[in-house]
């Protein structure tokens, strides 16, 4: 008999995936243009042209065995060095190639980091609303999730609740900024408060507590909002980065872990990262995409389409009477469920072929997530359905 925990995970797909599959079926029935699918965070902006040009050039000009062969387990040394130098240039750090582990995206960065750090029964603090896979990743690594809420006014971390949650078993804290699903960005002030508190607690407990900074949306910010760089506040930091959203490459599975160069016992922690990568089979991230990064590390997608979508949707929904969290980053709009029951509202929305995600699986019931990484036309077409729903709920 297989491992029943894995059977359960495999059989119970995420709410988001279920909704996405439902959307595919519905599109076949009524036509794609009649289904307003806001379920999945799949980038709608194309990857920068330079990415495609670089890939073509690599294929045409690199000897096949070098192009498609293994790299060393933590990644190509030249790529790791380039990633470190890029971090140093942008965030005034002192990273070296030896602090960088190339991965298959942020999901792999997180699972490797959690396996590297956690011993059975140790706790990981996550802030709700959170990316639902955190629970799966932490529990698979033998850890226990402790959830801390957000402030309702701005969706920043509830610092008092955070301080009460930290205890001698706390081994890591996951910060996700810009946030999926709220779009909120953690301010320097909040980050400083979290860091200073953890520094005190590390001394008291005589053991390190790590911050895992899950930041696939770092570059997706609007209106000049700054996303503070966690290592600049706290040394025991592992940045879990991915190019899935910043370069619109989610299917290519490429990202990295950057262990802060000043982390305590840096060499041991990096060895644990390599060990976890080995144990999980996450070695040698896709080599073609590692090599592409050498030329495209600081390429940017044109965010204007997301910004246009966000502005249109936010204004229109506020005008209709919905209560929306003002998004500062990522490509999600988080809105309060009229009537208070997110599952019931999303079911009602489905009757209008409006596919939005109820928030319970993000650890904060009573809201819905709208992924606005879609065409502007989809948003325009969906507005009458949102208006009908507003009427049905007397907004
Ligand atoms: N973390 C967050 C907050 C995400 O939203 C996602 C994907 O949507 C991931 C991690 C996983 O990203 P990747 O596709 O790079 O594995």
Residue pLDDT, tens place only, 147-166: 999 998 899 999 999 999 99
Q: Is 131 in the pocket of ligand 1 (CB under 6 A)?
A: yes
**pTM exceeds 0.85, yes or no:** yes
Task: Find the range with the poorest average confidence among 19-23, 48-52, 82-86, 175-179.
Answer: 19-23
Q: Is 301 in the pocket of ligand 1 (CB under 6 A)?
A: no
pLDDT-based confidence at 15, cuts 50/70/90? confident
Q: Tell me what pLDDT residue 236 has.
A: 98
Looking at the chain, the whole-number percentage of residues with pLDDT higher than 90 is 94
pLDDT-based confidence at 74, cuts 50/70/90? very high
Atom of ligand 1 nearest to the CA of 214: 1
pLDDT-based confidence at 246, cuts 50/70/90? very high
Q: Tell me what pLDDT residue 94 has.
A: 96
Q: Is 39 in the pocket of ligand 1 (CB under 6 A)?
A: no
Nearest CA to ligand 1 atom 12: 106
- Per-residue pLDDT tens digits for 325-374: 989 999 999 999 999 999 999 999 999 999 999 999 999 999 999 999 99
Q: Tell me what pLDDT residue 142 has.
A: 97
pLDDT-based confidence at 213, cuts 50/70/90? very high
Dist. CA 331 → ligand 1 center (Å) = 12
CA distance 276 to 257: 12
Asked if residue 312 has pLDDT above 90, the reply is: yes
Dist. CA 277 → ligand 1 center (Å) = 18
CA distance 179 to 130: 8
Nearest CA to ligand 1 atom 5: 180
Asked if residue 14 has pLDDT above 90, the reply is: no
All structural domains of the chain, each given as residue ranges with its CATH number in brackets, are 4-47+302-392 (3.90.1150.10), 49-296 (3.40.640.10)
Q: Is 180 in the pocket of ligand 1 (CB under 6 A)?
A: yes
Atom of ligand 1 nearest to the CA of 41: 8
Q: Average pLDDT in the 191-210 region?
A: 98
Atom of ligand 1 nearest to the CA of 176: 3
- Per-residue pLDDT tens digits for 256-289: 999 999 999 999 999 999 999 999 999 999 999 9
Q: Is 105 in the pocket of ligand 1 (CB under 6 A)?
A: yes
Q: Tell me what pLDDT residue 12 has.
A: 84
Whose structure tokens read 């077409």? 381
Dist. CA 319 → ligand 1 center (Å) = 31
Q: Average pLDDT in the 187-196 region?
A: 98
Q: Is 43 in the pocket of ligand 1 (CB under 6 A)?
A: no
Dist. CA 126 → ligand 1 center (Å) = 15
Nearest CA to ligand 1 atom 2: 131
Dist. CA 109 → ligand 1 center (Å) = 10
CA distance 160 to 176: 19
Asked if residue 116 has pLDDT above 90, the reply is: yes
Asked if residue 17 has pLDDT above 90, the reply is: no
Q: Tell me what pLDDT residue 242 has.
A: 97
Q: Tell me what pLDDT residue 373 has.
A: 97
Q: Is 129 in the pocket of ligand 1 (CB under 6 A)?
A: no
Asked if residue 13 has pLDDT above 90, the reply is: no
Nearest CA to ligand 1 atom 8: 41
Q: Tell me what pLDDT residue 73 has.
A: 98
Q: Tell me what pLDDT residue 354 has.
A: 97
Q: Tell me what pLDDT residue 117 has.
A: 98
Atom of ligand 1 nearest to the CA of 105: 15
Cα-based torsion angle of the residue sequence 369, 372, 374, 377 in order, rounded to the nearest 10 degrees: 110
Q: Average pLDDT in the 95-104 region?
A: 98
Q: Tell me what pLDDT residue 326 has.
A: 86
């Amino acid at each position: 008999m297989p491992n029943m925990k894995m059977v359960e995970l495999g059989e119970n797909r995420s709410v988001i995936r279920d909704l996405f599959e439902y959307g595919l079926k519905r599109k076949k029935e009524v036509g794609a243009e009649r289904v307003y699918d806001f379920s999945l965070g799949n980038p709608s902006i194309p990857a920068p042209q330079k990415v495609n040009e670089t890939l073509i050039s690599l294929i045409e000009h690199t000897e096949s065995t070098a192009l498609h062969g293994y790299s060393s387990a933590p990644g190509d040394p030249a790529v790791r060095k380039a990633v470190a130098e890029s971090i140093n240039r942008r965030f005034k750090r002192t990273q070296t190639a030896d602090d960088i582990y190339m991965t298959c995206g942020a999901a792999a960065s997180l699972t490797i980091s959690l396996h590297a750090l956690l011993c059975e029964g140790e706790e990981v603090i996550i802030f709700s609303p959170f990316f639902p896979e955190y629970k799966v990743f932490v529990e698979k690594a033998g850890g226990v999730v402790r959830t801390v809420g957000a402030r309702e006014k701005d969706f920043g971390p509830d610092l008092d609740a955070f301080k009460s949650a930290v205890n001698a078993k706390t081994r890591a804290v996951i910060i996700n900024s810009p946030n999926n699903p709220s779009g909120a960005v953690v301010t320097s002030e909040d980050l400083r408060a979290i860091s200073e508190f953890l520094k005190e607690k590390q001394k008291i407990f005589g053991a390190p507590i790590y911050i895992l900074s899950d930041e696939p949306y770092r570059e997706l910010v609007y209106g000049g909002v700054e996303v503070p760089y966690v290592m600049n506040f706290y040394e025991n930091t592992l940045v879990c980065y991915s190019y899935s959203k910043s370069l619109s490459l989610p299917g290519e599975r490429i990202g990295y872990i950057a262990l802060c160069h000043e982390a305590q016992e840096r060499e041991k922690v990096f060895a644990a990262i390599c060990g976890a990568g080995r144990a999980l089979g996450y070695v040698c991230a896709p080599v073609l995409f590692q090599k592409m990064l050498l030329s495209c590390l600081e390429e940017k997608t044109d965010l204007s389409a997301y910004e246009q979508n966000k502005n249109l949707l936010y204004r229109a929904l506020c005008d209709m009477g919905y209560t929306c969290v003002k998004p500062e980053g990522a490509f999600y709009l988080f809105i309060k469920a009229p009537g208070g029951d997110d599952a019931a509202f999303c079911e009602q929305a489905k009757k209008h072929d409006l596919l939005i995600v109820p928030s319970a699986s993000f650890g904060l019931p009573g809201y819905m997530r709208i992924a606005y990484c879609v065409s502007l036309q989809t948003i325009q077409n969906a507005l009458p359905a949102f208006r009908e729903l507003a009427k049905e709920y007397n907004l």
